Amino acid sequence: MPPNDPVLTQPASDSAIVVSDLAKSYGAVEAVKGVSFAVRTGTTTALLGGNGAGKTTTLSMLLGVLTPSAGRISVLGEDMPAHRYRVLPRMNFTSPYVDLPKRLTVAQNLAVFADLYGLKRARERIAKVAEDCDLTALLKRSYGSLSAGQRTRVSLAKAVLNEPEVLLLDEPTASLDPDVGDRMRTYLERYQHSSGCTMLLASHHMGEVERLCDDVIMLREGRVVDQGSPQQLLARYGRENMEEVFLDVARGRTDERVPGGAAVESV
């Protein structure tokens, strides 16, 4: 891992999320292997890696859904999962791997979560997020009747419903067409800037990462193998875009780099 990295060495007092030596095992299988990083308050950080790199497992541990096998997690200054009840009302998430009750309408699903978060003026808030996520015409539709892209938008609306201070985004624009995907990214940009929310984003859309993210954490096989701003990583690998950097990392080209920053395959 590169020394003096700005993500890892950010003081804890300036970080909304601090992860230290985090590990998760399923029997003999190690899904996450001693991961450490910090996410600066009020910024957007990408958590990148190929399938099986440990992204979703890490996000699940941050939410308290999974209990770590080892290591520590601090969110908004509170220890997770020991004090997660203090933090969860100030957090939210979106994931294509988590479905909502299919028989409920979109409005009913959002109302359930508004009640769970104890929102005041819930109907007004639901109407606002529905408008922002282009869901107004779908509020009376059952969730089970929606397309994959429409469900993604409902998940995003649910994720911002309580105006969270920390937002965990697992593939937030999955299944969206380019036009709707662009509008949702614009919404996330505006939401982050207006609210000061801290966002941790797992995505396979590298254009999304370049557009939204201040910092990037690269995972491979359950370990952090590189990190920095998108600009730092592009310079370090001598690449023109984050997709090329992603391929270098996914294929193990992080140990040796030729002059000028381009990465080469380790021998």
Q: What would the two tokens of residue 66 be?
A: 């999974």
Whether residue 175 is contained in a domain is answered as yes
Task: Please name the residues in contact with 134: beta carbons below 8 A apart, sequence gap of 6 or more.
Answer: 153, 180, 183
Whether residue 82 is contained in a domain is answered as yes
Q: What would the two tokens of residue 7 be?
A: 């993500």
Q: What would the two tokens of residue 5 be?
A: 């990295």
User: Residue 26: beta bridge partners?
Assistant: 29
Whether residue 5 is contained in a domain is answered as no
Whether residue 3 is contained in a domain is answered as no
- In whole angstroms, what is the distance from residue 90 CA to residue 164 CA? 5
Q: By C-alpha distance, which of 6, 41, 51 is closest to 226?
A: 6
- In whole angstroms, what is the distance from residue 158 CA to residue 81 CA? 22
At residue 97, the pLDDT reads: 83
Whether residue 143 is contained in a domain is answered as yes
Domain count, the chain: 1
- In whole angstroms, what is the distance from residue 72 CA to residue 235 CA? 32
* pTM (whole model) above 0.85: yes
At residue 13, the pLDDT reads: 62
Range of the structural domain that residue 111 is part of: 12-264
The whole-number mean pLDDT for each consecutive block of 10 residues of the chain, a chain of 267 residues, reads 44 84 95 96 95 92 93 94 90 91 98 95 96 96 96 95 96 90 93 94 93 96 94 94 93 59 42
Q: By C-alpha distance, which of 158, 166, 142 is closest to 76?
A: 166
- Between CA 260 and CA 208, with CA 40 as vertex, the angle to 5 degrees is 60
CATH of residue 122: 3.40.50.300
